[in-house]
Amino acid sequence: YYHIHHRTPINVLDDLIDYAQEVHNYTIDTEDQIQPPPQPSKPALLQIEYVHKNDPSILLIIEMMHLPNRHERTFKKIKTLLKIIFSNNHNIYLWGNIEKELKHFHQFGLFDENDISSVTERNIQDEFKIYFHKNYPLSPDIKSNANETYSLQFAIYKMFNQWLTKRFTLANFGCGLDTALDTIIIPRQLLHQQEQIMEDEEAIRQFMITYALNDCLAVTKLVHELRLPTNSTLPTSTIT
């Protein structure tokens, strides 16, 4: 996986742009930065999985609170990358509605409503509901109301008997997950514990990274299992 932010090397972005030209299926997910009430949460992460029929998946974590300035070359490269991903009737898989999921991300200037409208959305949350109701009509877990939805955690448990943790749902996703951002700040009075604090903070960030990536991988795993119609055969993604 790759972290995308103001310190991402240009050559890495160029490689990701080239690869995006060859891929037509993507899974996306987002995470918010929770704010003190009554402030609304802020968009913090955009996770994208390149889903390729022959090659291993590539995953991106775009750290929205650590983007480059809009006039910088790095920003323009990130924008080019996302314009390619959200284009050409590419298949976009996600757990929920794409407009609702991404509407608060337009403010960053990397893509807009026109880009989103050009993709072929696959709402796997809705697809799973249809599948579950068809195959388990007598289940006590059935949600009969049209506006009721199932959680991704529930779907993964029912389909694979695996537990997708939601422990980090309210985590500080805007903190700067990539250690290359140097966002770990140690108060002067705790400098004598610097090594231990650094280890603890890095471990927490790694847990958050795994959590964020697993949400993408889980959706892709469901796409494969539900055998939804696509333009290519999808690989099985492994949830770690």
Tell me the DSSP string of the chain. Answer: -EEESTTS-HHHHHHHHHHHTT--EEEEEEEEE--STTSPPEEEEEEEEEE-SSSPPEEEEEEGGGPPPTTSHHHHHHHHHHHHHT-TT-EEEESS-HHHHHGGGGGGSS--HHHHHTSEEEEHHHHHHHHHHHH-TT-TT---STT----HHHHHHHHHS-----TTTTSBTTS--SGGG------GGGGGGHHHHHHHHHHHHHHHHHHHHHHHHHHHHHHHHHT---SSPPPPPPP-
Domains detected in the chain: 2-226 (3.30.420.10)
Q: Considering only CA atoms, which of 12, 72, 85, 10 is closest in space to residue 1? A: 12
| pLDDT confidence of residue 233 | 42
User: pTM for the complete prediction?
Assistant: 0.89
pLDDT in single tens digits along all 240 residues of the chain: 999 999 999 999 999 999 999 999 999 999 999 888 888 889 999 999 999 887 889 999 999 999 999 999 999 999 999 999 999 889 999 999 999 999 999 999 999 999 999 999 999 999 999 999 999 999 999 998 989 999 999 999 999 999 998 877 768 899 999 999 988 777 777 777 777 877 888 999 999 999 999 999 999 999 999 875 544 444 444 454
d(CA 120, CA 89): 5
Separation of alpha carbons 174 and 177, rounded Å: 8
Neighbours of 142 (CB within 10 A): 13
Which of 225, 211, 98 lies closest to 153 in space, CA to CA?
Answer: 211
- Residue 135 vs residues 145, 225, 239: alpha-carbon distances, Å: 17, 14, 24
Residue 195's pLDDT is: 78
**pLDDT at residue 234 in the model:** 44
What pLDDT score does 220 carry? 96
Contacts of 75 (CB under 8 A, 6+ apart): 6, 67, 68, 69
